[in-house]
Structure 1
Amino acid sequence: MITVTNRFLIKKGFGQKMAPLFISDEALLNWEGFNKVEVNVCSEPEDHDEMNVMMFWDTIEHFNAWRVSDDFKKLHSREEAGNKENSGSSPIISNRVVISELVATLVK
């Protein structure tokens, strides 16, 4: 299993507002190899929010198939349009995508 984490720095106060957007597209549930998405927001820094969007996939091939799909393109074009309509500029300060292999877990 792999995780694909998009690590964002967000303008202060926008983390909690943006988090639901990353779980709103239920078409993702139909993709082979997709397991789940988790969104974490840290509001501790005084000047920005930090948000991690972590996707769990069976393989990198499954993730890459989704990433080049029309579903992915449609979702991301809608997000860009929403940012322009809502604020004139994106609340995203920066982001970094990290792809990792899940090698250990402990579950209760």
Structure 2
Amino acid sequence: MYTVSNRFIVKKGMGHKMAPAFISEKELLDFEGFQKVEVSVCTQNGEHDEMNVMMYWTSLENFQTWRASDSFKKLHSREVKSNGESPIISNQVIIAEIVATLAH
């Protein structure tokens, strides 16, 4: 299993407003190997919000198939704007293999 984490720094107050957009693409549910997506928002910093979009995939190949798809391109062509400009200050994508799990 793999996780793909997109870690965003966004303008203060925008984390909760942007989060629903990352679970709106229902076509994602049809892609082989897709498990789930979770969005978390941290508002502890006084100057910006931190948002983490964590996707879970059965294999790296399954994720790469989605990333090369028209569905991915359509989803990522949408512009999110606040007062005429992007609320995203920066982002970093991290792909990692899950190598140990403890669950209840």
Query: Which position in structure 2 is the counterpart of 1:107?
Result: 103
Separation of aligned partners in 1, 2:102 and 2:39: 19
Query: Which of 83, 89, 97 does residue 87 from structure 1 map onto?
Result: 83
1:17 aligns with 2:13: no
| 1:88 to partner: Cα distance | 1.4
Q: How many residues align?
A: 104
Unmatched segments (≥5 aa) in structure 1? none
Query: Which position in structure 1 is the counterpart of 2:45?
Result: 45
More helix by share: 1
- Name segments (4+ residues, structure 1) moved above 2 Å: none
Separation of aligned partners in 1, 2:99 and 2:51: 23
After superposition, give the CA deviation of every residue in 1:14-52 in whole Å (9 maximum; x if it has no partner).
001101110011100000000000001000000000000
Q: Which amino acid aligns with 1:87?
A: N
Work out the percentage of aligned pairs sharing the same amino acid. Answer: 62
Instruction: Give the CA RMSD over aligned residues.
Output: 1.0
Separation of aligned partners in 1, 2:37 and 2:83: 26
Unmatched segments (≥5 aa) in structure 2? none
| 1:87 to partner: Cα distance | 3.0
TM-score by length of 2: 0.96
